[in-house]
Amino acid sequence: MTKYSLAVIVLAAGQGTRMRSALPKVLHPVAGQPMLGHVLAVAAALKPERSVVVLAPGMEAVAQAAARQMPGIRIAIQAEALGTGHAVQAALPALRGFKGDVLVLFGDTPMLTVDTLKALVAARRRKAASNGDGPAVVVSGFRPADAAAYGRLVLDERGDLQAIVEYKDCTPEQRAIGFCNGGLMLLDGARLPGLLKRLDNNNAKGEYYLTDLVHLARAQGWACKAVEISEIDVMGVNNRAELALAEARMQARLRQAALEAGVTMTAPETVYLRADTKFGRDVSIEPHVVFGPAVEIGDDVTIRAFSHIEGARVAAGATLGPYARLRPGAEIGPDAHIGNFVEIKQARVEAGAKVNHLSYIGDARIGAKANIGAGTITCNYDGYNKHHTDIGAGAFIGSNSALVAPVRIGDGALVAAGSTITDDVPADALVLARGRQETKPGRAVGIRARLAAQKKRKPKQNKS
């Protein structure tokens, strides 16, 4: 079998005005990733030889986001939004010299899955009996509960696709068809340019419809196929309500995948995941945990309720929370404990170390088995620069200590509670850096008597 060659065109030139946003529609995130990013990630799984994204003039931010995610992606500019067929025409120069299949996707369908794309590819490759080249056009079809304004798929008596009729151009009989165009299409690249040349805009919207390629192909005697896919896959996002709906569905999908991968969640519907969240085996997550981007959780980690985790790596056997906050650059070592109201940023907490209560640890290393007392703060910022705090293995930092960075606490050192540490502490030293306690026996009695007498003399003024 010869190598399958595929090019992908993602249409994203639409303005998305119904989002009412300064941000281009396809950059709005779902599960923390721009919608376009989801589409490109799914497309990338098919290893396309070429990828093109079609944008309107001035959409530089989208072009940059696309290039960041998929280096080498080509940008085609559609000068005016004259329809989906016109948008594909705009992408043709970027496909010059390419011979293979062309997959057309929309940038605003974040729920797309690789399996759906593979179903289209399979239909193209299954050579139609009537045509050795396989169908010229393969279309995704779905049966929505409400067919609304989708294009309708008209099948012939053999069940092959005869035409797509846009809603506005439908006869009443055609409107009654429940089988609709999901938008994504797979086209024979060899026959595509010829078909596109024949497009016109004699229709209700005055647009060049990509969907017209079907009847144009049939007029050449070429077969076309509709492949039924799930509605959720081609769900488009046009406004904020649909964005919220897509988020809910994506979360449901991610939670299901995590559960299937061996994560325990007592209340999965309260856990917010990202498309890139990675879990080991036997991870346990209590209710109300929020994951930001770039989180990797190792085996046997327990994440207790109300924790917030982003940009962090957590090694096997560690426990987090309740109410832990891991910020970017947090690296939690095996069997470490991060307790309640503890914030960790750009810091490595090594094996078995404990930061159990009310702490801020930023720009730091905490050595293995060190114990960080309640309320310890690494004072990492002087208003201009960030400085590093290094705490050695087995060190003990007493409660409510302030470690003024840059500072190093040696292995096994003992810092007395309430200390403000500004100088390095050698290994195994005891350091106290706080006012000495003075105790005056009986003195409280005298003070109370004096204050009570004052209050009796001027009761009104003393009222608090």
For 75, half-sphere exposure in the C-beta direction (CA atoms, 13 angstrom radius) is 19
Smallest separation, CB 340 to ligand UD1 (Å) = 45
Is there a catalytic annotation at residue 357?
Answer: yes
List the single partner that 211 binds among ligand UD1, Ca ion, none, CB under 5 to 8 Å by kind: ligand UD1
Smallest separation, CB 68 to ligand UD1 (Å) = 20
236 vs 317 by CB, closer to Ca ion: 236
Pick out residues in 232-291 that bind Ca ion (CB under 5 A): 236
How far is Cα 10 from Cα 28, in angstroms, rounded to an integer?
A: 16
- Residue 132 vs residues 125, 126, 129, 136, 140: alpha-carbon distances, Å: 10, 9, 7, 11, 21
106 vs 222 by CB, closer to ligand UD1: 106
Task: Give the type of residue at 337.
Answer: H
Smallest separation, CB 101 to ligand UD1 (Å) = 18
Q: Which residues bind ligand UD1 (CB under 6 A)?
A: 11-14, 54, 78, 81-84, 86-87, 106-108, 150-151, 164, 166, 180-183, 209-211, 236
At 214 the three-state DSSP class reads helix
82 vs 351 by CB, closer to ligand UD1: 82
- The count of chain residues that interact with Ca ion, using the rule CB under 5 A, is 1
Indicate which residue of 215, 288, 357, 388 is catalytic. Answer: 357
Smallest separation, CB 334 to Ca ion (Å) = 48
Angle of helix 35-44 relative to helix 60-69, nearest 10 degrees, comes to 40
List the single partner that 87 binds among Ca ion, ligand UD1, none, CB under 5 to 8 Å by kind: ligand UD1
- Residue 391 vs residues 23, 315, 359, 396, 418: alpha-carbon distances, Å: 44, 19, 14, 9, 17
104 vs 425 by CB, closer to ligand UD1: 104
User: Closest CB to ligand UD1 belongs to which residue?
Assistant: 151
Contact (CB, 8 A) for 368 and 326? no
Site string for Ca ion, 184-223 (x = CB under 5 A): ----------------------------------------
Query: Residue 179 class from Cβ within 10 Å (0-12 exposed, 13-18 middle, 19+ buried)?
Result: middle
Q: Look at residues 95, 97, 101, 131 and name the one whose alpha carbon lies nearest to residue 3.
A: 101
List the single partner that 189 binds among Ca ion, ligand UD1, none, CB under 5 to 8 Å by kind: none
How far is Cα 331 from Cα 314, in angstroms, rounded to an integer?
A: 6
The site for Ca ion (CB under 5 A) is made up of: 236
Residues with a known catalytic role? 357
